Amino acid sequence: MLLGLGLFGPVVAFVIAYMVVSVPDPTALAAQLNQPVTLYYADGSPMYTKGSASGHQLATWDQIPQSMKNAQMAAEDETFMTNSGFDLKAILRTVVNRLSGGTGGGSTIGQEYVKKATGNDQDTLSRKFLEMVESYKMTRTYSKQDILTAYLNTVYFGRSAYGIKAAARAYYGEDVSQLTNEQAAVLAGLVQLPGYGNSPTYQQQRYKYVIGRMLANHWISQTEFDAARFPAPIPETTTDGSGRPLAPARKYIVSAVFGELNRKGLSQQQLAKSGAKIYTTIQPPAQTDAEASVDKIMAADKQYPQEGAALVSVDPRTGGIIAYYGGDGSTAYDLAMTPQQPGSSFKPYVFAAALQHDPTTIGLDTVYNGSDNQTIDGQLVHNSDGEGAPQITVKDAMTKSVNTVFYQMGAQVGVDNVRQAAWAAGIPKQITSSLGSTYDSLQDDDPKTGKGNGTTELGISIGQYQVRPIDQAQGYATFANNGMYVPVHFVTKVTGNDGTQLYQFDTAAKPAFSSDPTTNATIARTVTESMTDVASSSRDGLTGGRPNASKTGTAQFKDSGHNSEAWMVGYTPQAVTSVWFGNKQQPAPIYGNYHNGIGSNHGYDVYGREEPGYIWQDFMNTYLAGKPAEPFPNVPTISDAPPTTTSPPPPTTTTPPTPTDTPTTDTPTPTESASRTRRSSSSPTPVPCVLGCPSTAPSRVGGG
């Protein structure tokens, strides 16, 4: 009886569902698709329109070549022409996987069409059951020819292309009737994950799979398979709000906006279906200023065409990105989303960790042994160009970018606390590159899994671990906002074509470094104060002596003596700007021709104070022109430290420099110093030696 009920129950449910469900109308569905999606600047002017206002165009069965029909079946449903709208074996396999906690698809083309038509894509067994019934009913209502035509006319291929007609134009500039076997294989493969439609790696991966299945099903011959070559799609064409081609540098903004919304649960497919209007934080004048500043400095370096720059500027009070430059358009990847070694521009997080965990010992005026070539925690640490002094305050060490001081500080505070402070400021715990790869930040990778192994080396203190320019803008924005973390973002709100609100940015600011408001503000304000002399010392100060806080950063290229990464990150109360400069293709030595305050103006090694510093200076001066010169908040700073320390400093050994002194790690070495000339304090003052100093330390705070 139980067995009979077990068999009879599903049959009854199937019959009842069959009587109740309706079959989606392909024509009605097509009318909803391919509505234009419009992006707007912060002032309401249109930035970009994606999709066609002319509506969705249907292809007839006769217009769709057999190559495309075969390719779609090979990609998704090889038994399409003979099944009943569902594949029972695949469904049972999916049920078992679901019950055991796994995943699995098992959908036929008919079921996929139903899912697209209804918009119901919940990952539940009940949805799969109704989908199966509707697909079966479709096979009883329409011919296989009609179902496959409907599917190919409504499925999403990426690039805002709904239906095979739009996809053939978007990817190959062809009429659908002209698609070859190879082109059809690419397009059919993209349906699985259309959001990766512009990824060359994904395109080739899916092409190989589909063309292989076409051969296995005898839809192409062995001769055709052997002669087949991957057909690279044409570049995606984009237009601005006026229908003109979008400026190459701004395509990265568009991609970043859609990426942000996808992480919020709004896919491009959903946006296109609703005719979304996306309102961004990008300010047109600021964006123009950013592009002009990069172009101005980079124009001097045309001799080095592989060099490039990235810039991200943020309003620290709102988290809104006001200007964004991910490159000149010559790369498929966005340089502002590409992880790079930050070098000394990571040192403010080390100081923030010290202020969190050792505020009674470490402050702005705490004195360290900043001598060059010290062995700290078993690692020989250099200062750039011999910068440093036997006695130097934390603020002077930040200004002169003395590596040995912050290496000692990191050892004293602990690397776990350093990375925790960086995470709290806004460096993501998981960083995703422009090409989609994700890794656990600020720690070593497990070579077997590629995931973070939880181990962080002391090199974090001088910028060993990679971060993105947008991450540095985020972290420094937290300092600029008095220790209050607000996620940096591109989008303020999204509405549908009918005015329905689909998304609104409403994340409240939260304290980053302490739950106590006063302590939190004091930590951030002290870190800010440590950086107030960097720009002027580096000759990158702002017009009229406008108050600012900034930090340069540079990473050395292997042991070549040349640099591969250079940074300038800094802010006023109104704007935070992160600038990266380096090789667009791969880590390599970087040289400049724009201006060098020390030595030759042609072919010099670029440090943070040069190309990135000049881009930062030019942009900030232009953007802030006419705006009031705001002082930083009147918040107490942690300045004085007692003459003793509660925890002993790490053992250090002063080692004379030799030609063979090189770091023991294989990672690029931060080499940058804010100023690369030797100089001493204009008013030498005796100070007590507190941390890591020799017992017979000189009584002068030296410069680097």
For residue range 24-77, list pLDDT tens digits in order.
565 566 656 667 889 999 999 999 987 654 556 788 999 999 999 999 999 988
Residue 302 has a pLDDT of 95
Residue 670 has a pLDDT of 47
CA nearest neighbour of 474 among 464, 463, 489, 462: 489
Structural tokens at position 209: 């799979």
Which range has the worst mean pLDDT, 114-128, 295-309, 386-400? 114-128
Per-residue pLDDT band for 212 (boundaries 50, 70, 90) equals very high
The whole-model pTM stands at 0.78
Amino acid residing at 478: T
Residue 36 has a pLDDT of 84
Per-residue pLDDT band for 203 (boundaries 50, 70, 90) equals very high
Q: If residue 578 lies in a helix (H) or strand (E), which one and from where to where?
A: strand 576-583
What's the CA gap between 361 and 344, in Å, rounded?
22
Q: If 0-12 CB within 10 Å is exposed, 13-18 middle and 19+ buried, where does residue 637 land?
A: buried
Region 389-409: mean pLDDT is: 96
Residue 443 has a pLDDT of 96
Per-residue pLDDT band for 114 (boundaries 50, 70, 90) equals low
Residue 161 has a pLDDT of 81
Residue 150 has a pLDDT of 82
Residue 644 has a pLDDT of 39
Structural tokens at position 629: 């010169």
Residue 219 has a pLDDT of 96
| pLDDT averaged over every residue in the chain | 83
Per-residue pLDDT band for 703 (boundaries 50, 70, 90) equals very low
Residue 130 has a pLDDT of 58
Region 128-134: mean pLDDT is: 59
Helix/strand/coil (H, E, C) string of 18-44? HHHCCCCCHHHHHHHCCCCEEEECCCC
Catalytic residues: 76, 344
Region 92-108: mean pLDDT is: 53
Q: Which domains, from first to last, does the chain contain?
A: 57-227 (1.10.3810.10), 291-488+523-624 (3.40.710.10)
pLDDT at 120 over 70: no
| Residue 699, phi-psi category: left (phi > 0), alpha (psi -120 to 50), beta (remainder) | alpha
Residue 76 has a pLDDT of 87
pLDDT at 97 over 70: no
pLDDT at 365 over 70: yes
Each residue of 349-361: pLDDT tens digit?
999 999 999 999 9
Region 154-165: mean pLDDT is: 84
Per the listing, tokens 């695949």 go with: 90
Which range has the worst mean pLDDT, 90-94, 384-388, 446-450, 631-635? 90-94
Considering only residues 62 and 643, tell me which one the structure prediction assigns the higher pLDDT.
Answer: 62
Q: Cα separations (Å) of 122 from 125, 126, 155, 682?
A: 9, 9, 18, 70
Residue 674 has a pLDDT of 35
pLDDT at 308 over 80: yes
Which range has the worst mean pLDDT, 213-222, 446-455, 638-647, 667-676? 667-676
Half-sphere exposure of 401 (CA within 13 A, CB side): 34
Residue 518 has a pLDDT of 96
Each residue of 168-202: pLDDT tens digit?
998 999 999 999 999 999 999 999 888 788 889 99
What's the CA gap between 423 and 426, in Å, rounded?
5
Residue 435 has a pLDDT of 79
Number of H helices, E strands in the chain: 22, 21
pLDDT at 698 over 50: no
Residue 136 has a pLDDT of 61
Per-residue pLDDT band for 684 (boundaries 50, 70, 90) equals very low
611-628 in b/e form (b: 16+ CB < 10 A) is bbbbbbbbbbbbbbeeee
- What one-character DSSP code corresponds to residue 632? P
Residue 445 has a pLDDT of 93
What's the CA gap between 329 and 122, in Å, rounded?
38
Residues 521 and 483: beta-carbon distance below 8 Å: yes
What's the CA gap between 182 and 225, in Å, rounded?
9
Strands 277-280 and 37-40: parallel
Which range has the worst mean pLDDT, 207-211, 310-314, 366-370, 670-674? 670-674
CB atoms within 10 A of CB 218: 9
CA nearest neighbour of 52 among 65, 69, 35, 76: 35
Residue 6 has a pLDDT of 53
For 307, the 3-state DSSP assignment is: strand
Per-residue pLDDT band for 667 (boundaries 50, 70, 90) equals very low
CA nearest neighbour of 568 among 704, 432, 476: 476
pLDDT at 680 over 50: no
What's the CA gap between 198 and 273, in Å, rounded?
20
What's the CA gap between 463 and 670, in Å, rounded?
7
Residue 143 has a pLDDT of 78
Which range has the worst mean pLDDT, 9-13, 168-172, 515-519? 9-13
Region 147-151: mean pLDDT is: 84
pLDDT at 413 over 70: yes
Region 572-590: mean pLDDT is: 96
Region 380-398: mean pLDDT is: 90
Residue 520 has a pLDDT of 97
Beta pairing partners, 439:
431
Residue 491 has a pLDDT of 98
